Amino acid sequence: MNRIPRRPPRTRDGDAPVPLSVPEIRGNAWRYLRRCLDSNWVSSAGPWVERFETALAARVGARHAVATVNGTAALHTALLVAGVRPGDEVLVPALTFIAPVNAVRYAGAWPVFIDAEPDHGQMDVDGARDFLARRCRRRRGVLRNRDTGRPVRAILPVHLLGHPCDMDPLMSLAIRHGLTVVEDATESLGAEYRGRPVGRPGHLACFSFNGNKIITTGGGGMIVTDRADWDEKARYLTTQAKDDPVEFIHREIGFNYRLTSLQAALGLSQMEWLDRFLRRKRTLALRYAGALRNISGLLLPGEAPWARSSWWLYVVGIDGERYGETSRDVIRRLEKANIEARPLWHPIHSLPPYRRCQAHRVEVADRLYRRSLALPSSVGLTRRQQDRVIRALTAGCRT
């Protein structure tokens, strides 16, 4: 039973909705949930959460994993564990979902936006290097932004869309400047960087099990690290900073950020399918690539030579001039055919809450945003559904 069984098409007319990305609940989900309920361990106490943490740590090759209520909470906690304090600055990509940038603000710190590199849309390590070399200065042991005077404390790269960032030069850069790296690996569980699983620390890395991620717990997240003291600190902060198991002593302001057993039980069943889901995502990506290869003005995503993508979302670029329609035209046309396609995230540095924050030479992110289009990428996407997407994209082109 290695293959994912195909569901029969729900309608005959062939225009049932094709969603962008929906969860795939399979295998032992019901069995584990029932066992969890029967055990009466439904909150965060009990064996389930620990089992899920152990399974994920083993998969990623990390010594420790701390489960959280969602990926955003994992990022917030990881930043605090990394020593990010109010008034500090953290380097973030301009092109990302907003959650990691919000997490920087939850910690009271400020984002500095770094551009995307043009080939894979990941945070541009050269841009980060340029910012640190030209715009920052070390004074009395503290690296400070020359323009704002604030201490720069961490780098938060996001492995976007299932493709890893170029981590080796980024880690050397961080180590050279004494910065901690908090990886947002929420979209890239199962991806590999130079043969190592994404999130394999590094310093700290965060995952998400939201409904549209490669595996889901409904909502959930995880922090992984190799450092025992960081693991302990993350556990402490996510359980209301409890200093005594009996008396209610709290030396710090903590959070109620722990995952529940019910979610962990679902997560354990999903982990058993991760490799099959990854194979399926790769097959879908290869099939899109083969079918859309020769369409003029359609720019296909690739893998860097050192990368193995999880192909979480298949995102193409539309060159409006050559293709004959803009990415937004295509989205509207696909919508009429009952196919859900979406733009990429609006670059965060030009959104209202972040407009006044520093953006270091951001250009590529804006261009990628305008031309990009995410195509249906669910693990359970059928051949017929994918053919409909391919036909719609082929029909629109000029050639």
Ligand X SMILES: *Cc1c(COP(=O)(O)O)cnc(C)c1O
Quote the CA–CA distance of 314 and 300 in Å, as a whole number: 9
Q: Is 204 in the site for ligand X (CB under 6 A)?
A: no
Rounded to the nearest whole angstrom, what is the least distance from the CB of residue 70 to ligand X in the complex?
4
Q: Is 377 in the site for ligand X (CB under 6 A)?
A: no
Contacting ligand X within 66-85 (CB under 6 A): 70-72
Sequence length of the chain is: 399
Q: Is 263 in the site for ligand X (CB under 6 A)?
A: no
- Say which residues have a Cβ less than 8 Å from residue 303's Cβ, sequence separation at least 6: 120, 163, 309
Q: Is 369 in the site for ligand X (CB under 6 A)?
A: no
Quote the CA–CA distance of 246 and 242 in Å, as a whole number: 9
Quote the CA–CA distance of 362 and 353 in Å, as a whole number: 17
Quote the CA–CA distance of 313 and 341 in Å, as a whole number: 11
Nearer of residues 76 and 235 to ligand X, judged by Cβ: 76
Q: Is 327 in the site for ligand X (CB under 6 A)?
A: no
Rounded to the nearest whole angstrom, what is the least distance from the CB of residue 160 to ligand X in the complex?
7
Rounded to the nearest whole angstrom, what is the least distance from the CB of residue 157 to ligand X in the complex?
10
CB 102 within 8 A of CB 71: no
Structure tokens at 368: 């990628």
What is the SS3 assignment for 291? helix
**Selected binder of ligand X within 88, 183, 184, 340 (CB under 6 A):** 184
Nearer of residues 158 and 393 to ligand X, judged by Cβ: 158
**Selected binder of ligand X within 77, 122, 145, 210 (CB under 6 A):** 210
**Selected binder of ligand X within 57, 79, 99, 307 (CB under 6 A):** 99
Nearer of residues 19 and 320 to ligand X, judged by Cβ: 19
Q: Is 158 in the site for ligand X (CB under 6 A)?
A: yes
What is the SS3 assignment for 264? helix
Measuring CA to CA, which residue among 281, 362, 366, 370 is closest to residue 317?
370
Structure tokens at 277: 């889901």
What is the SS3 assignment for 353? helix
> Which of these segments, 32-40, 97-105, 170-178, 295-303, binds ligand X (CB under 6 A)?
97-105
CB 328 within 8 A of CB 146: no
Nearer of residues 72 and 358 to ligand X, judged by Cβ: 72
Amino acid at 151: P
**Selected binder of ligand X within 52, 97, 131, 323 (CB under 6 A):** 97
Query: Using CB atoms, what's the residue nearest to ligand X?
Result: 71
Nearer of residues 230 and 257 to ligand X, judged by Cβ: 257
Residues at the site binding ligand X, with contacts judged by CB under 6 A: 70-72, 96-97, 99-100, 158, 184, 186-187, 208, 210, 221
